[in-house]
Amino acid sequence: MTTGSPDLLVPAGSTWDQLFPALRTLLHEASGDEVCDRADEPCVVVATSGSSGTPKRVRLPASALRASGEATAEVLDGHGRWVLALPTHHVAGLQVLARSVLAGTEPVALPAGPFTGGAFASAVSRAGGGSPTYASLVPTQVHRLLQDADGTAALASLDAVLVGGAAADPGLLRHAREAGARVVTTYGMSETAGGCVYDGVPLPGVVARLDPVDQRIHLAGPVLAQGYADAPDLTSTAFQVLEGRRWFVTGDRGSWQGGRLRVLGRVDDVIVTGGHKVEPRDVETALRALPGVTDAVVVGVPDEEWGQVVAAVVVPSRPTDPADDLARLRAALAPTLPAHALPRQVVLRDAIPLLPSGKPDPARAGALLRAAASPSAEG
């Protein structure tokens, strides 16, 4: 293969038709049986979502994108036609383009503007044909589709829908599957060429392990990035050789359940309140299970007495008296959560603050909660 080709930069605002020809060329250079010299291999440079801090520029070798796309086809129903509903300057949308290149198809992109069930249904209709039809979505998009009859029907008509980018609520996944959708949850990040663990099982060629001390997830395999552009110190910290294998050291904790990887949350997201550790994801799941709650994001807010308090930005499903929400939510959650995990602060909003990638933005959620300065609950 040809080496030494310039990197393909993916700036914010890039459209799929601008990137697609260059990505096709780059992936074709990575084809064949020849082993690439990773130091010289052409790369795509894509920014991380910024959910864990300042976005970083990740150098993804063409071979990593190809390995990821081929493994995805292997665990689904083969290569197919993809609906593009995500921005292509983040890895999930970029992978829709890469998978389309490998399939020899072109993606069907939603029009610019708000994501709606009607627009998604139209794109799915245009994508349908003789090959499997897929989409990659974030949980917020799935939720919106399930509120729309046409969107729900389109979701159910797909051969598979990959759901990633953020933790998907079990209730949302159940609702989607009951509606007939073949939902495949994905876990991964820009540094692993996108999702590399599907429904808790690593893709072919990918290996996952947990650090024995802090249960931090390590990932290895042909999907790994080369590193960070112009940041050798960050690269040496995040990509480490352990026991003869190169690993990406994630910022997430996990556990194995029935042979499947369960992601528990960010290592630095654990809320320590009064000496107790609280998993934000457990509180979010309990909140979303309440009849009056549509969505929620939970963070720890500094507190003089408790160190941190459990705090939540909640999207109610109907108008509610804000003065009663904290007491009502704590009472409703008491049967399912220990006392130390009950929220001591709550803010109501029409929507969860999101990053451009579609992931919840915990930094903005924390800022909303601090600005609201709600009084702590007793107990």
CA dist., res. 310 & res. 308, Å (int): 7
Length of the chain in residues, anyone? 379
Stretch (H or E) spanning 247: strand 245-257
**Residue partners of 155: CB distance under 8 A and separation at least 6:** 120, 142, 145, 146, 161, 176, 179, 180, 181
- Cα Rg for the chain, rounded, in angstroms? 21
Q: Identify residue 285 by its one-letter amino acid code.
A: T
Please say if the pLDDT value at position 374 is more than 50.
Answer: no
Tokens of 267: 């290592």
Longest dimension (CA), the chain: 67
CA dist., res. 150 & res. 147, Å (int): 9
DSSP one-letter code for 331: H
pLDDT of residue 68: 97
Q: How confident is the model at residue 96 (pLDDT cuts 50, 70, 90)?
A: very high
In terms of phi and psi (left: phi > 0; alpha: psi -120 to 50; beta: otherwise), the region of 219 is beta
**Residue partners of 290: CB distance under 8 A and separation at least 6:** 329, 332, 333
Please say if the pLDDT value at position 328 is more than 70.
Answer: yes
Stretch (H or E) spanning 198: strand 194-198
Q: Report whether 27 contacts 66 (CB < 8 A).
A: yes
As a three-state string, the secondary structure of 251-266 is: EEEEEEECCEEEEEEE
Q: Judging by beta carbons within 10 Å of its beta carbon (0-12, 13-18, 19+), is residue 200 exposed, middle or buried? A: middle
Residue 243: helix, strand or coil by DSSP? coil
pTM, full prediction:
0.79
Please say if the pLDDT value at position 231 is more than 50.
Answer: yes
Tokens of 130: 């003789």
* Least reliable range by pLDDT among 7-11, 49-53, 293-297, 309-313: 49-53
Q: Report whether 225 contacts 181 (CB < 8 A).
A: no
Question: Residues 208-222: what's their mean pLDDT?
Answer: 95
Residue given tokens 């050789």 in the structure block: 241
Question: Residues 287-308: what's their mean pLDDT?
Answer: 88
CA dist., res. 57 & res. 53, Å (int): 12
CA dist., res. 188 & res. 163, Å (int): 11
How many Cβ atoms from other residues are within 10 Å of residue 348's Cβ? Answer: 15
Please say if the pLDDT value at position 379 is more than 60.
Answer: no
- Candidates 41, 58, 36, 39; CA nearest to 238 is 58
- Candidates 164, 80, 186; CA nearest to 124 is 80
Q: Is the dihedral of CA 101, 55, 372, 334 positive or negative?
A: positive
239-249 pLDDT, tens digit each: 999 889 999 99
126-175 pLDDT, tens digit each: 998 778 999 999 988 998 999 999 999 999 999 999 999 877 888 889 99
In terms of phi and psi (left: phi > 0; alpha: psi -120 to 50; beta: otherwise), the region of 327 is alpha
18-65 pLDDT, tens digit each: 889 989 988 887 654 433 445 668 899 998 876 555 778 999 999 999
Tokens of 12: 């914010």
Structural domains in the chain, sorted by start: 8-262 (3.40.50.12780), 270-372 (3.30.300.30)
Q: Which residues pair with 291 in a beta bridge?
A: none
